[in-house]
Amino acid sequence: VGWIRLKKQEVHSLVSETSFLWFMWGSGITDPCLISPQAVVHLQLHNGVSVHFFSTWREFSDYITMTTKALAEAPFKREREQTSFSFCLESEWAGGQRVNKAGEGLLQVWKRQIQQLHRVSSEVAAAVVAAYPSPLLLQKTYSECRTESEKVSLLSDLLIRRGEGITSTTQRAGPELSKRLYLLMHSCDPEVILDSCL
């Protein structure tokens, strides 16, 4: 991380009496009292500099960490969002899932069924499908549980991997998702709202 030292003439004499100021590249100024609001506006509008004020080094380091992570994840997110046409849904969602006589495609159907649940991302569905490649296997595992609470919390410790590359993180599915999937597989009430049962 480097610092830029600017003379006050270089910001068109909008700064206060001090002859030198320290600026962080794209981040902020060490002492907000040294610069007038007009200088901040000028820097942001005319020079394309984003100005942020931080009261502590911890806030500053948190901001740098957040920005670095966002920059590292940006290429993966762009790649994921790329579609053939901006006005068209991705063909795999819009066209449904084709299943042939050999059963190829059933795994994707099962994954999409799980993704129909509220707040279930592709990563979460992929983790469930990896652990239980078919609804029948999940149902069989439920039947092997001894108590109702064991069934409800069956998927709580399932590990979900989010992101790609060095920025990937792992977390557990948690009791909420576990209970919703249990209700999906076992509820006999067609009118039940899964989220309201939590």
* Terminal C-alpha separation, the chain: 47
**Confidence at residue 43, expressed as pLDDT on a 0 to 100 scale:** 76
Whether residue 138 is found in the same domain as residue 178: yes
45 found inside a domain: yes
Whether residue 112 is found in the same domain as residue 178: yes
The amino acid at residue 21 is L
Cα separation, 74 vs 68, in Å, equals 10
94 found inside a domain: no
Whether residue 71 is found in the same domain as residue 110: no
**Confidence at residue 117, expressed as pLDDT on a 0 to 100 scale:** 84
Whether residue 44 is found in the same domain as residue 114: no
Whether residue 180 is found in the same domain as residue 114: yes
Query: What's the token pair of residue 196?
Result: 């309201």
pLDDT in tens, 77-100: 777 766 555 555 555 555 567 778
Residue 100 per-residue DSSP state: -
Specify the higher pLDDT residue, 22 or 172. 172
Domain residues for the domain of 70 are 3-76
37 found inside a domain: yes
How many domains are there within the chain?
2
Whether residue 115 is found in the same domain as residue 163: yes
Select from 76, 92, 112 the last residue of a domain.
76
Mean pLDDT check: name the lowest of 52-56, 80-84, 120-124, 160-164: 80-84
88 found inside a domain: no
Whether residue 111 is found in the same domain as residue 193: yes
Whether residue 63 is found in the same domain as residue 113: no
Residue 132 has pLDDT above 90, yes or no: yes
